[in-house]
Amino acid sequence: MASLQHVYTAPFARAVRSRSLTITTTSASLSVVPSRVSVPSLSRASHIDSHVLLGMSEVDLQQLAKDFGQQSYRGKQLHDLLYKTKAKEIKDFSHLVPQAFRNGLEEAGWKVGRSPVHRVVTAADGTVKILLKLEDNKVIEAVGIPVEDDKGTNRLTACVSSQVGCALRCSFCATGKGGYSRNLQRHEIVEQVLAIEEFFKHRVSNVVFMGMGEPMMNLKAVLEAHRCLNKDIQIGQRMMTISTVGVPNTIKKLAAHKLQSTLAVSLHAPNQNLRETIVPSAKSYPLEAIMKDCKDYFLESGRRVSFEYTLLAGVNDAVENAIELAELLQNWGSGYHVNLIPYNPIEGSEYRRSYKKAVLAFAGALESRRVTTSIRQTRGLDASAACGQLRNEFQKSPLLEPSDSAESQPAVALAG
């Protein structure tokens, strides 16, 4: 077979590059740039690498194989290697993929798209935080949460990041305090799930987009990763949750996709004034507007919205706050669910964790007003892997080279 490097022309390269970024979920627009609203600017250029196999669908991989002069079944083999065998490098394809095809992929700049593990932190409760070193030496965090339910069924939840850092700077969240660097690409989201599966040697059953970053400010890549996790890795849509603190115009765009996954909106306050003190970006997205979008989301998608509410002692955890929250939800419909999250302390924060008595009183006030309520169990607290604690020292500044010297530096800002 003739060497493929002689037929890999520039126009062909552009065609394959374009194909590798195709979204198959829907034709609806994925633009997330809000109009006439002041939100943190994300104009900084993202680290884009389009020659990545991870995240591609079986159809796209079959077409890629044909573009390289191979039969389409070679694309099916690539799909199995990526999502079943979990191969990390093209050289790992050797037992199935012909050498000429492997050489052609490598010469054209293709790669699998898996990142090395920089550090692993394990909590006493079995929760694990995995730090992955990306190609540009930035570090992201993913959390694996193993749970055995009352029936003895073992579940493994992956909490994945969608950005390196976060621009929204919620006052109680460690990630926002570390600043924003860039959006993640779809394969950098997907690989977090694979890294967790590899560590636990167990399939991930649930995925929550609740790690570092604001998913709605990287909606295109999040939806591409969601498609891959559902169609290629075979995680049910109903087993996935997309979380947002609220970005104008994006809930409507998400609703158009009619996903069966849960939308979780981080509310944290029952009125606009209090919400602005906790979530600075709320100034650009009034509470009334976000509630209307949530109501429209339910009508469009048929999926109820879950509201996340972090309880901060003496700030938003009074019974009066619960009563006001119940009235707010009832004014906008019924069937809402509130997930209460006891605050997880971070270094340098003025906030305190609510007492258990206050948490239970808050939940009781909601339930007595027919608002379905749950209290999130705190997991991974001693590893700074709990909700709101994800932060590493390399959000804005990448790891220094050579990497051997960087490996010895602490990668996690542990809570005091």
Q: What is the pLDDT of residue 335?
A: 73
**102 and 200 co-located in one domain:** no
**Which residue shows structure tokens 């950098």?**
188
Peptide bond into 98 cis (omega under 30): no
Least confident of 152-156, 193-197, 381-385: 381-385
How far is it, in rounded angstroms, from Cα 251 to Cα 281?
A: 15
Q: What is the pLDDT of residue 37?
A: 36
* Average of per-residue pLDDT across 28-35: 36
Asked if residue 365 belongs to a domain, the reply is yes
The residue that leads in pLDDT, 71 or 335, is 71
User: First-to-last CA distance in the chain?
Assistant: 62
- Per-residue pLDDT band for 93 (boundaries 50, 70, 90) equals very high
Tens digit of each residue's pLDDT (9 = 90 or more) over 163-194: 998 888 787 787 767 788 899 999 999 999 99
Asked if residue 38 belongs to a domain, the reply is no
- Per-residue pLDDT band for 34 (boundaries 50, 70, 90) equals very low
Share of the chain above pLDDT 90, in %: 66
Cβ atoms 161, 218 nearer than 8 A: no
Nearest to 139 by CA among 399, 408, 385, 384: 399
**98 and 126 co-located in one domain:** no
Residue 39 has pLDDT above 60, yes or no: no
**265 and 379 co-located in one domain:** yes
Question: Which tokens belong to 269?
Answer: 């306050």
Residue 402's region, left for phi above 0, alpha for psi from -120 to 50, else beta, is beta
Residue 92 has pLDDT above 70, yes or no: yes
pTM reported for the whole predicted model: 0.81
The number of C-alpha atoms within 13 Å of 151 and in the hemisphere containing its C-beta is: 3
| Residues forming a β-bridge with 165 | 180
Burial bucket for residue 84 (CB in 10 Å: 0-12, 13-18, 19+): exposed
**203 and 307 co-located in one domain:** yes
Asked if residue 228 belongs to a domain, the reply is yes
- Per-residue pLDDT band for 416 (boundaries 50, 70, 90) equals very low
Q: Hey, what's the torsion of the CAs at 368, 372, 377, 381, to 10 degrees?
A: -90
- Per-residue pLDDT band for 377 (boundaries 50, 70, 90) equals confident
- Cβ atoms within 10 Å, residue 356: 10
* Averaged confidence pLDDT in the chain: 82
Q: What is the pLDDT of residue 379?
A: 62
- Per-residue pLDDT band for 36 (boundaries 50, 70, 90) equals very low
166 catalytic? Reply is no
Q: How many residues does the chain have?
A: 416
- What's 154's domain CATH number? 3.20.20.70
Tens digit of each residue's pLDDT (9 = 90 or more) over 270-310: 999 999 999 988 999 999 999 999 999 999 999 989 999 99
**82 and 177 co-located in one domain:** no
- Cβ atoms within 10 Å, residue 76: 14
Cβ atoms 233, 181 nearer than 8 A: no
Residue 404 has pLDDT above 50, yes or no: no
The number of C-alpha atoms within 13 Å of 411 and in the hemisphere containing its C-beta is: 24
Give me the number of domains the chain comprises: 2
**60 and 131 co-located in one domain:** no
How far is it, in rounded angstroms, from Cα 130 to Cα 122?
A: 9
Question: Which tokens belong to 124?
Answer: 């006493």
Cβ atoms 138, 395 nearer than 8 A: yes
**151 and 283 co-located in one domain:** yes
Asked if residue 161 belongs to a domain, the reply is yes
State the residue range of the domain holding 17. Answer: 4-22+43-107
Domain end point (choices 64, 79, 107): 107
* Average of per-residue pLDDT across 6-32: 35
**128 and 62 co-located in one domain:** no
Domain end point (choices 107, 135, 157): 107
Residue 40 has pLDDT above 90, yes or no: no
The residue that leads in pLDDT, 414 or 107, is 107
How far is it, in rounded angstroms, from Cα 300 to Cα 315?
A: 34
Least confident of 233-242, 351-360, 394-403: 394-403
- Which one is catalytic: 141, 191, 214, 308? 141
Nearest to 77 by CA among 92, 30, 23, 176: 92
**301 and 228 co-located in one domain:** yes
Q: What is the pLDDT of residue 406?
A: 38
* Average of per-residue pLDDT across 97-119: 96
- Which one is catalytic: 159, 166, 173, 387? 387
387 catalytic? Reply is yes
**366 and 221 co-located in one domain:** yes
**95 and 124 co-located in one domain:** no
Sign of CA dihedral 206, 143, 193, 308: positive
| Residues forming a β-bridge with 52 | 111
How far is it, in rounded angstroms, from Cα 284 to Cα 367?
A: 31
